Amino acid sequence: MRAVLQRVSEASVTVDDTITGAIKQGLLVLFCAEHGDHDDEAAYFARKISKMRIFTDDDGKMNRSVLDIGGSVLAVSQFTLAANWKKGNRPGFSGAAAPVEGERLYEFFCNALKSEGLTVEKGVFGAHMDVRLLNDGPVTIVMDSKDSA
């Protein structure tokens, strides 16, 4: 499982000229389920994301979470995070979860974020999406379940 978190002042997703999700201050999370991923990993990611202290406090230090600031999350499915780019010039995506399982884990992840107390907006799984964001910082964190603790 992989996720890319971007601290944003605002972000939105548009599909077929319709905004499907939009937030003000918070996190844009690009989410990728891979073969063999499980619900417990998605729940763990949601817990970590909700409590990760990457927003500044009154002293300008990254000491507040998205929950602390009353921010929201825009979660976007992004199977291309599973890209195998090392061999040749065309990346392969065979490491991504099959679409049915990928969508199930994406929805589970979004619900897990909600259960942590976050307001969650979403993209549309499997759709071509236009994602707009104003990265705040910039602050970008890459999460990979294969990384050791």
Q: Which two tokens stand for residue 123?
A: 């993209």
Q: Tell the burial category of 145 from Cβ atoms under 10 Å away from its Cβ (0-12, 13-18, 19+).
A: middle
* Residue 106 contacts residue 75 (beta carbons within 8 Å): yes
Buried b vs exposed e over 109-133: b needs ≥16 C-beta within 10 Å?
Answer: bbebbeebebebbbbbbeeebebeb
Residue 79 is a catalytic residue: yes
Q: Which residue in the list 79, 108, 109, 125 is annotated as catalytic?
A: 79
What is each CA distance from 114 to 16, 104, 117, 144, in whole angstroms?
26, 15, 5, 21
Q: Which residue in the list 80, 108, 119, 125 is annotated as catalytic?
A: 80
Residue 55 is a catalytic residue: no
Distance from chain centroid for Cα 37: 15
Q: Nearest 5 degrees, angle CA 89-CA 135-CA 104?
A: 65
Residue 140 is a catalytic residue: no
Q: Which residue in the list 45, 78, 108, 109 is annotated as catalytic?
A: 78
Catalytic residue numbers?
Answer: 78-80
